């Protein structure tokens, strides 16, 4: 069970339409496939989606740090030496997606070696999650039409709405149109990606106070410490810390400081090992948790389902698991399918997925 090599393979798959939000927009999934090889001939896989406008990582940067710094530190370790591995990787600051992908590929390799599902290794609470679909910036009619299509085709009834534009009425009108167009039986929450000020956020939430929102997420910047605390103190819905609360220490700071009352766990930036730590802390603090999405492809989405379904807390709410539907293609031999608003884990060892060699050859960028 010793690691013999780590591959970082760049690939690019266009989106059918760009996803737009307050901190940027994405037209092409320029991700990195990470493969961890062992001396038993096992190969574990994971996906690293760089987000330069949020964490400063780029596709080229992920590859460089894995090949030049991280791979030499993990080669020779056993798949069971995950704590040693995490300690070594933590010596290098930043690079969350690169670290997370290595960690998840190791878990996948361990599951394949032991012939056990990753979900069972993590906790094994259930085998599925309800799906929340993320709606990016567009005209109200177009966003309502997309949500209706998701409900009709996939049974999705929870929607995360990107907000953060100015004037705030642009987005409050969209949320109102969604509620009126889809009815009271759907769940709605909003994510500002730090796009508004605290006062703009308060104004927007007041305008939407009658729409039955589940959550508000990262409406204003966390470094506006006083403004953020003021905002959170007057809201009557849980305020989710996302990019402001990546590590357990971040979560502790934001929650105890009064800047958040719920958190988003994204395995694309904390892997399985550190996501466990964030989950356990949230459980101890009595926080609501949403499984987030880093605009992952199907492999990344399966990793999210594998983790989220492992625990009662993370499977309680719908997870953000459907953005792969906006991609024009993907790398898996058997594409993921959402039925009745749910995504289930795959049977088989590890993550239960395989990479299609022909598709990888078509989309990889290093040949």
Q: Give the residue numbers annotated as catalytic, written as ranges.
A: 162, 191, 217, 242, 266, 294
Residue 294 to residue 31: CA distance in whole angstroms: 11
Cis-peptide into 118, omega within 30 deg: no
Largest CA distance in the chain: 59
Of 99, 88, 175, residue with least CA distance to 140: 175
In a 10 Å sphere around its CB, with 0-12 CB exposed, 13-18 middle and 19+ buried, how is residue 181 labelled?
middle
């Amino acid at each position: 069970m010793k690691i013999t090599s780590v591959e970082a393979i760049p690939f690019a798959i266009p989106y059918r339409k760009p996803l737009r939000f307050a901190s940027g927009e994405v037209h092409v999934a320029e991700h990195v496939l990470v493969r961890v090889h062992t001396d038993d001939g096992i190969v574990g896989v994971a996906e690293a989606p760089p987000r330069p406008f949020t964490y400063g990582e780029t596709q080229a940067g992920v590859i460089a740090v894995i090949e030049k710094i991280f791979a030499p530190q993990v080669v020779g370790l056993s798949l069971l030496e995950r704590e040693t591995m995490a300690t070594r990787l933590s010596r290098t600051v930043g690079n969350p997606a690169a670290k997370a992908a290595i960690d998840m590929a190791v878990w996948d390799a361990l599951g394949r070696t032991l012939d056990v599902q990753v979900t069972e290794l993590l906790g094994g609470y259930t085998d599925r999650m309800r799906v929340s679909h993320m709606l990016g910036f567009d005209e109200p009619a177009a966003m309502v039409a997309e949500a209706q299509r998701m409900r009709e085709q996939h049974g999705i009834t929870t929607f995360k709405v990107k907000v953060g534009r100015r004037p705030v009425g642009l987005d409050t009108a969209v949320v109102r149109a969604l509620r009126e167009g889809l009815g009271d039986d759907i769940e709605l929450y909003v994510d500002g990606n730090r796009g508004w000020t605290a006062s703009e956020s308060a104004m927007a939430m007041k305008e939407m106070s009658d729409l039955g929102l589940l959550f508000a997420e990262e409406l204003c910047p966390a470094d506006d410490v006083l403004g953020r605390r003021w905002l959170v103190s007057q809201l009557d819905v849980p305020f989710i810390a996302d990019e402001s609360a990546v590590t357990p220490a971040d979560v502790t700071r934001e929650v105890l400081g009064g800047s958040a009352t719920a958190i988003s766990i994204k395995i694309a930036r904390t892997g399985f090992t550190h996501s466990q730590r964030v989950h356990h802390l949230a459980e101890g603090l009595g926080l609501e948790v949403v499984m987030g999405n880093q605009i992952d492809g199907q492999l990344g989405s399966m990793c999210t389902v594998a983790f989220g379904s492992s625990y009662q807390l993370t499977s309680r709410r719908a997870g953000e698991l459907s953005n792969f539907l906006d991609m024009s293609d993907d790398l898996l031999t058997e594409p993921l399918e959402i039925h009745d608003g749910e995504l289930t884990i795959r049977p088989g060892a590890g993550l239960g997925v395989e990479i299609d060699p022909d598709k990888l050859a078509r989309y990889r960028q290093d040949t």
